[in-house]
């Protein structure tokens, strides 16, 4: 129904997407870029698997000393905070109901460079410093799953970090470390330092090494540069083309549905029933009854809407309402004849009448 109404807009969008795709010129490098991006994606997946080992509590907790540098990323929001400094850590005595592993039981206080406008009590989520803007170093509680890397470097931290100047001094130490190591800060060796000797972990390291060798030996960048093209720009264009192709697939499905290749006759019959029941108007505008039915997604939308808007629940006791609604949950077919109490039988008869 919605797709049918949206046909003109969907067809216009389809033409626009096809035009945008045709304008993207990858200069004959598309196959090579496809392979290159596949390797990059494979590398990222392997890194995440390796990270899950490195930050297991049994391997990382001994190294959560104050002053150690860690790189923090909110992977759920895809937000990078960069390098910060461990201040302290605590272990929950009882696991959080929403925790996904033992790592969530450890909360690590990390000094991070943050956007000062997100540090107030009214802010719902702390964010990192915006580029080209001044940040504020603040102590933020983090779970182990937010750790991207852990460094072998430690810096001095004063006992009292409440004064802003003390936090700023530690922040300057982090910046100095990044400058000294040209932003490639040395990390703990997972085998030598953390003693991760699991065979599955060693297999992941070998796979990562193989993928990195393929990426480093790729001649794609040199070939693109030789053509006078911008390598990063070409990768960006490729990702843009991939996104357009995804949108094209979705839009083609919508257009196909709206043009009537799928369930056209059934759609007409459904609309006729909806008009008669008052869910949509003669002009195919969704009425209040229809909007109510759209919000119900766990049972028969039309029947429940009729019961609600007909006021049938108003005079029922809560236990009768619950019993009536249980009829909408299919458990198993049974031929057993049940003898119900009169008030329950009355509710069941009402349901059958509405249905």
Q: What is the mean pLDDT of the chain?
A: 87
| Judgement on whether residues 96 and 196 belong to the same structural domain of the protein | yes
Mean pLDDT for the stretch of residues 264-283: 80
Domain end call among 207, 223, 245 = 207
Mean pLDDT for the stretch of residues 119-128: 83
CA distance 147 to 61: 12
DSSP state of 159: S
DSSP 221-245: HHHHHHTT--HHHHHHHHHHHHHHH
Whether the per-residue pLDDT at 337 is higher than 70: the answer is no
Domain end call among 156, 177, 207 = 207
CA distance 50 to 47: 5
Domain assignment of residue 242, yes or no:
no
Q: How confident is the model at residue 335 (pLDDT cuts 50, 70, 90)?
A: low
228, containing H or E segment: none
Domain assignment of residue 94, yes or no:
yes
The whole-model pTM stands at 0.64
Winning range, highest mean pLDDT, from 27-36, 161-170, 174-183, 224-233: 161-170
Domain assignment of residue 260, yes or no:
no
Domain assignment of residue 253, yes or no:
no
DSSP 30-67: HHHHHHHHHHHHHHHHHHHHHHHHHTSHHHHGGG--TT
DSSP state of 118: G
**119: domain range?**
47-207
pLDDT digits (tens, 9 = 90+) for 50-94: 999 999 999 999 999 999 999 999 988 889 999 999 999 999 877
Tell me if 49 sits within 8 A of 204, measured CB to CB. yes
Domain end call among 207, 226, 245 = 207
């Amino acid at each position: 129904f919605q797709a049918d109404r949206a046909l003109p807009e969907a067809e216009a969008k389809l033409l626009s997407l096809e035009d945008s795709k045709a304008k993207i010129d990858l200069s004959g490098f598309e196959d090579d870029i496809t392979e290159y991006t596949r390797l990059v994606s494979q590398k990222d997946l392997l890194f995440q698997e390796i990270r899950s080992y490195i930050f297991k509590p049994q391997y990382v907790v001994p190294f959560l000393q104050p002053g150690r540098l860690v790189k923090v990323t909110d992977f759920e929001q895809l937000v990078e905070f960069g390098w910060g400094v461990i201040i302290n850590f605590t272990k929950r005595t009882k696991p959080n109901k929403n925790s996904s592993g033992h790592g969530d039981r450890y909360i690590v206080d990390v000094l991070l460079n943050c956007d000062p406008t997100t540090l107030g009590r009214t802010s719902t989520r702390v964010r990192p410093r915006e580029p080209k803007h001044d940040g504020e170093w603040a102590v933020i509680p983090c779970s182990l799953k937010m750790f991207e890397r852990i460094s072998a470097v430690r810096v001095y931290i004063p006992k009292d970090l409440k004064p802003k100047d003390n936090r700023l001094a530690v922040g300057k130490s982090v910046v100095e470390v990044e400058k000294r190591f040209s932003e490639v800060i040395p990390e703990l060796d997972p085998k030598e330092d953390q003693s991760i000797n699991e065979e599955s972990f060693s297999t992941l390291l070998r796979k990562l090494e193989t993928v990195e060798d393929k990426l480093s030996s790729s001649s794609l960048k040199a070939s693109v540069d030789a053509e006078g093209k911008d390598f990063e720009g070409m990768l960006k264009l490729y990702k843009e083309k991939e996104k357009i192709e995804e949108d094209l697939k979705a839009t083609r499905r919508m257009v196909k549905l709206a043009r009537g290749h799928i369930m056209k006759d059934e759609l007409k019959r459904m609309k006729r029933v909806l008009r008669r029941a008052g869910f949509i108007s003669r002009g195919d505008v969704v009425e209040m009854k229809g909007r109510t039915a759209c919000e119900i997604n766990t049972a028969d939308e039309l029947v429940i809407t009729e019961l609600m808007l007909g006021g049938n629940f108003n005079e029922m006791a809560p236990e009768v309402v619950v019993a009536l609604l249980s009829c909408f949950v299919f458990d198993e077919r049974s031929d057993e004849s049940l003898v119900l109490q009169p008030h329950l039988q009355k509710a069941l008869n009402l349901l059958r009448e509405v249905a």
